[in-house]
Every structure is written in structure tokens, then in C-alpha cells.
Amino acid sequence: MNIIKNRVYHRTVYRLIITCFLFFNTSMMANAAVNFKELKGELPIRKTEYMIRVPENWNGILINNFDYIKGADTQKSMFFLEQGYALSGTKRRKDRGKNYDPAHEIHDFITIFDIFDEAFGKPKTTIQMGCSGGGTVTLAMAEIHPDRIDGAIAMCASTSPWLANTHLDGMFVLQALIAPELPIAGLGDYSPAQLNALGKKWIKAVDDAQKTAEGRARIALAITIGQWPAWGGKGEAPVEKPDPTDIKALQESMYQSIVRLVPMKGTGGTTMLERAGRGQLKWNTGVDYRDYYNNGAKLYKKAVESLYKESPISLANDLAKINAFERVKADPKAVKWWSAPGRTHVGEPKVPLFRMNTAGDGLVYASLIQGYEELVAQNGYSSFFRSAYVNTWGHCRFSQAELLTSINVVLQRIESGKWPDTSPAALNKLGKFLLPESKVNFFPYVGVQKYNRTWVPSVEDFQALQK
């Protein structure tokens, strides 16, 4: 049952930002209160929990966020209500780990928009926003539902088949060169306990490799071929972000990242993807890992080559060994499942789309943004797309100022038809103007030379032919 309530939220001492698309005024506000109407319940069919809040001073803008309910009462969310934004979204379903389907999550959003329109009237502007899995569906919304949203902000967003294969490449190097007896695919049926047991074995193998010159070189090679971040993972950063020209520090950071990203319960996102499609999604049949190495980040490759010179083994021989190792084949039925609209992305955003990633995200690698940007340019949709990177370790760690900056950038693009300056310097300047007390850390990210795992479904994929 839908329930509409009038609510008031009180808090103290927060900076008020009045947003007028291109112009902003700031002032201090004490003992502020925001009155809002709340509507919540369960959506038809799947019974997904949803919530809508519309402030008394609604500015006509609706921001829909996949994970809204989880953070609805946080200071960040209440801040946006104070500024006049209506907020809506869902709560992650309890069965999501076993029955993940972004296409169904998109259907939930469409239903929320219908409910909103009936209860409060159609917004003048609707922005789809989300991080991680919420970013995944945000990208799809920008591509296939320009009729329902006006703009989109995708943060640490995954294209699931790309992510699965990017993760596979780094692990495949480790398997071929360090631990051929440990599995890296077919893990969809593993229990959390089994994943943790496997993770301990992988961590020991990587720890042992780190103690030798050849092992350190191979760890660096895995990060470089996999196009994983050298500084990135879950939890807190174990080391300072390394100077990429300092080979010893860079390699240590690569090692610290890998031991946090091997298959285990806490990094089971690709396992969830296997369960979703009811079969093996990852594949590397037909891949030439010499080419994948050549596409890697320049400074990472420089470190790899230096580390191999210090070891008793040959880089050329190791690349040949990787290429000769038994490949992982996808289940054609799983590839077909992931080929459906809403479950993957094809690089055709049809509304303004702003994409952000933390540089140190070990769960959704920043290299995926680069691949999407390359595909968008190839398809002729660059006028709808901009990207930015935040110099922070971890997944979905964005400050209030960085979030507010992204919203204002998209609103400016919607209102004027032109993107404002989205250089790191301009974004930082805007963020500090909007919220001087909040950190803002956009920076000029240096990525790979070419992303390796761009994939757009083919006719053969839709027909479930052998991958």
C-alpha cells in the first residue's frame, strides 16, 4: 500500500545552496527545517521497496537514485531536499545476489516515475543518478529511456560483461604464471564460505610471489594486462597513492591491490553476474595477450619491463606462456541473456550523461569509463557524454561537493544545451564554490592506451552461438 505523509526534518548549521542552473548563492543557515511529503510502499510484480519525498519548496527537479532508501535520512539526502529537489528511488532486493537483473531494476524506475507523475505531477526535469549497480542502470536509462529522463549521473558504474572480462584478464595472468591449480571461473555456485576459502589460497599464492623478483614482475604484469588500478581496492587504502614513476612503490601498491581483489566473498560481484545469466559469462577465447599488454598504461608497462630485467625470467616468454594457457569459454546462453537491452550498454547515450569514477576503485575499474568514452565517440554520441575522475581510493566514495557539482553540471547541460567546462580545475572550482567546507578532488586521470574489453552484442550473441 502507498502511504503519503507530511514530514518535517530538522537539523543545525549547514550551508544553504540556492541552485538556479547557472548561478549559485551561498549563505549560512541555522536550525533549518524542511517540510516534505513522503510516499512509500512496494512496487507491483517484484515487490521492490520504493520511496518518494517531495519538499514543500520543490524546484520541479526529481533525482531518482537506485539506492535512495538506504540513505534517505542521511545528511547528504536531507541537504538535497532542503535545496528543493524531490528525491526517489528503491532499496536493493534481498534476493539480488542470486537473481540480479538490471533490466528489471530499470522497470522499477519506470514504475516509480509513473507513480510520481500521478501523485505529484510530472517534473520539469528528471535526473537518474546512481553508484555501482545504480550506475549500471543509470547508463542503461540514458541509452534506452530518453523519454523518461532528462539527464543522468553514473558513478563507479559497471557494464557487467566488460567488468567480468576485465577481471578475468588479470586473474588469468595470475593463474597462468603463479597458481595454475586455483580456479578463476565457474564460481557462480560457490557459497560465501567456499569463496573465502578460495580467496585465502589466492592470497597466499600472491603473497608468496611477492617475495621473489619474478613474482613481483608477474604481479605487475597481471595488473597491466588486466587494466586494473595499481592503487585500488575495498576497505581503507593500505598504502599512499604511489608516484607511477617510482617503480618500487608502484609495484608494492599493485601487490596490495591484487590481494584485495582476488576471488573472495567481498569481491563477489562477478560471481553475482554468473548467477544472473545462469552460466559462465567471462571468456578469453581468441584473445592475444600480447596485444592486451601493449594496450596497457605506459608507466605500468615501463615498470613491468624494469621488473622483468631485474628477474631471471623473460617477459616475452611469460607472454607466450599466458597465450598458450587453457582458455575460458563463455556459456552462449549466458552471453545471450546479457545481450538484452538494459543488461549491457552499447555506447549510445541520448540524454546528457555525466560519468564519474574514483581512481582507486578496485571493484569497478576506472578503465571501463575510458572504454565507454571510446565507444561513445565511435558511435557519434560524444555531445551527450562527459567524464570525470576523483583522486580517491575505494568504491563510490564521493563527497557532498562532488555530488553537487555533478548535478549542477548536468543541469547546466540540460538547460543551455551545452556542457560547461568539465576540466578537473573547473570542477574543483565549482565544487569549492558550492560547498567550501566539503572536500573536492577531481584530477587529470591518466588511463590505459586503449581499453581491451569493449563488447557490443552481435547477431551471433543474440542467437546464443559458441563464444
pLDDT digits (tens, 9 = 90+) for 46-62: 899 999 999 999 999 99
Determine phi and psi for 40, rounding to 5 degrees. -145, 165
Q: What's the CA gap between 324 and 215, in Å, rounded?
A: 19
What average pLDDT does this structure show over 14-42? 51
Whether residues 131 and 206 fall in one domain:
no
Please compute the mean of the pLDDT values over residues 107-135 and round it to a whole number: 97
CATH number at residue 41: 3.40.50.12270
- In whole angstroms, give the CA distance from residue 314 to residue 292: 17
With a cut of 90, say whether residue 129 has pLDDT above it.
yes
Query: In whole angstroms, what is the distance from residue 117 CA to residue 43 CA?
Result: 15
170 with 282, same domain: the answer is: yes
Q: What's the pLDDT score for residue 98? A: 83
Asked if the structure places residue 388 within a domain, the reply is: no
Residue 431 maps to a domain: no
Say if residue 120 is in the same domain as residue 184: no
* Per-residue cell: 234: 575495498
Residues 178 and 148 in one domain: no
Give Rg (Cα) of the chain: 23
CA 88 vs CA 42, 51, 73, 190: distances in Å = 13, 6, 12, 35
Q: Give the pLDDT confidence of 326-365 residue by residue, as tens digits.
A: 999 999 999 999 999 999 999 999 999 999 999 999 999 9
Q: How large a percentage of the chain has pLDDT more than 70? A: 92
Looking at residue 466, its pLDDT comes to 64
What's the rounded Cα separation, in Å, for the pair 216 and 224? 13
Q: Write the pLDDT tens digit of every residue in 220-266.
A: 999 999 999 999 988 888 999 999 999 999 999 999 999 988 988 76
Domain identity same for 82 and 174: no
Share the mean pLDDT of the chain. 90
Rounded-to-5 percentages of helix, strand, coil across the chain: 45, 20, 40
Q: At residue 30, does pLDDT exceed 50?
A: no
pLDDT exceeds 80 at position 297: yes
Query: Which of 417, 444, 287, 432 has its CA nearest to residue 352?
Result: 417
Q: Which residues lie below 8 Å from residue 255, measured CB to CB, with a gap of 6+?
A: 206, 210, 216, 219
Query: Which band of pLDDT confidence, cut at 50, 70 and 90, is reported for residue 467?
Result: low
Same domain for 174 and 229, yes or no, is: yes
* pLDDT level of residue 267 (50, 70, 90 thresholds): low
The reply to whether 36 and 133 lie within a common domain is yes
> DSSP assignment, residue 203?
H
Inside any domain, residue 267? yes
Least reliable range by pLDDT among 229-243, 286-300, 398-412, 439-453: 229-243
Q: Are strands 86-90 and 61-65 parallel, antiparallel or unpaired?
A: parallel
pTM for the model: 0.91
Tell me the torsion sign for CA atoms 381, 64, 131, 1: negative
Range of the domain at 324: 161-338+457-462
Which has more pLDDT, 55 or 268? 55
Give residue 86's identity as a one-letter amino acid code. A
Calpha distance 340→343 (Å, rounded) = 6
Overall average pLDDT of the 175-182 stretch = 97
For residue 92, give the amino acid letter: R
Mark whether 134 and 165 lie in a shared domain.
Answer: no
- Lowest average pLDDT, out of 26-40, 77-91, 197-211, 320-334, goes to 26-40
How would you classify the pairing of strands 49-55 and 86-90? antiparallel
- pLDDT category at 42 given cuts 50, 70, 90 is very high
Place of cell 543488461: 343
What is the average per-residue pLDDT within 277-288? 93
| Helical H segments across 297-423, by residue range | 298-309, 315-324, 332-339, 367-379, 400-416
Inside any domain, residue 316: yes
**What residues have CB less than 8 Å from 2, skipping those under 6 apart?**
39, 40, 41, 115, 119
Assess whether 59 and 185 both reside in one domain.
Answer: no
* Domains of the chain: total: 2
Biggest alpha carbon distance in the chain?
71
Residues 189 and 56 in one domain: no
> 142 and 245: one domain?
no
Render pLDDT for 239-252 as a digit per residue (tens, 0 to 9). Answer: 999 999 999 999 99
Q: Report if residue 436 sits inside a domain.
A: no
The answer to the question of residue 394 being in a domain is no
**Cβ of 317: how many Cβ atoms within 10 Å?**
10
342 within 8 A of 159, measured Cβ to Cβ:
no
Region 81-108: mean pLDDT is 93
Does 74 lie in the same domain as 36? yes
C-alpha cell, 386: 562527459
* β-sheet bridge partners, residue 427: none
Residue 91 resides in a domain: yes
Q: Is the pLDDT of residue 108 over 90?
A: yes
CA distance 388 to 356: 5
Report whether 170 contacts 255 (CB < 8 A).
no
Residues in the chain: 467
Within a domain: residue 66? yes
